[in-house]
Amino acid sequence: MARTSLNKDQQQQLLILAKNAIQHGLTTGKPLKVDLADFPAELTVQRATFVTLQKHGQLRGCIGLLTAVRPLVEDIAENAFCAAFKDPRFPPLTAQELTDLEIHLSILSPSEPMIFSSEQDLVSQIQPNIDGLILQEGHLRGTFLPSVWEQLPDPKQFLQHLKQKAGLPPNYWSNTVKIYRYTTEIID
């Protein structure tokens, strides 16, 4: 996991933006509209992000995009709102939970396809604590951010759980499996 290249002030702006987006959602039930003119140019470039919410160290929501489709600040605001209120694994966040909420931002690098000849070859290339992975098999797809290495430190186990997340059995393998890697810049 790489640390962010943004300075401390810019990192703080993004964390405040994420919190404001969640507070706005609690008040209005709608995503926060972002004015790009309010932010420095470094925060308005197109970037893909994930916003992860935790409460007492437990996952409380995580939403993001794997490809950059909107300016960084818009992506953070939208993903913070969605992580709080639209993650299908959790009920919408309540105002009472806000004080115990930890917000973690992941800014993704562009993903790159991995070239491998077998599952063993793939496992040998995976870089623990660095790589985020996207697995694609036909219409099935799943991703794990590099932060998932904290729970799954073994590359083989990491890949098995990623297969399950994508809807495949943990021992599944085929020559049509596609794997992409990316890194993240972490702000928390």
Q: Render pLDDT for 17-38 as a digit per residue (tens, 0 to 9).
A: 999 999 999 999 999 999 999 9
Task: State residue 5's pLDDT score.
Answer: 79
Number of domains in the chain: 2
* Shared-domain flag, residues 62 and 123: no
* Shared-domain flag, residues 6 and 82: yes
User: Of 108, 137, 171, which residue sits at a domain end?
Assistant: 108
- Extended beta strands in 138-177, E state: 140-144
DSSP 90-112: SPPP-GGGGGGEEEEEEEEPPPE
Query: Strands 2-3 and 101-108, how do they pair?
Result: unpaired
Task: State residue 137's pLDDT score.
Answer: 97
Task: Provide the domain limits for residue 134.
Answer: 112-183
Contact by Cβ (8 Å): 17, 107: no
* Shared-domain flag, residues 8 and 63: yes
What are 149's two structure tokens? Answer: 């290495």
User: Of 63, 82, 108, which residue sits at a domain end?
Assistant: 108
Task: State residue 3's pLDDT score.
Answer: 42
How many residues are listed for the chain in this entry? 188
| Within a domain: 120 | yes
Task: State residue 63's pLDDT score.
Answer: 96
Contacts (Cβ under 8 Å, ≥6 apart) of 94? 26
179: domain CATH number is: 3.30.1490.150
* Shared-domain flag, residues 43 and 99: yes
Residue 108 CA to residue 30 CA, distance in Å, equals 25
| Closest alpha carbon to 26 in 96, 103, 82, 94 | 94
Task: State residue 144's pLDDT score.
Answer: 95
* Shared-domain flag, residues 37 and 92: yes
**DSSP secondary structure letter of residue 46:** B
* Shared-domain flag, residues 87 and 146: no
Statement: the pTM of the whole predicted model exceeds 0.85: yes
| Within a domain: 188 | no
| Within a domain: 93 | yes
* Shared-domain flag, residues 12 and 42: yes
* Shared-domain flag, residues 144 and 74: no
Q: What are phi and psi of 186, to 5 degrees?
A: -105, 135
| Closest alpha carbon to 47 in 92, 89, 10, 102 | 10
Using DSSP's 3-state secondary structure scheme, residue 180 falls into: strand
Q: Which residues of the chain have pLDDT under 50?
A: 1-4
* Shared-domain flag, residues 132 and 150: yes
* Shared-domain flag, residues 118 and 130: yes
User: Of 93, 108, 123, which residue sits at a domain end?
Assistant: 108
Q: What are phi and psi of 72, to 5 degrees?
A: -50, -50
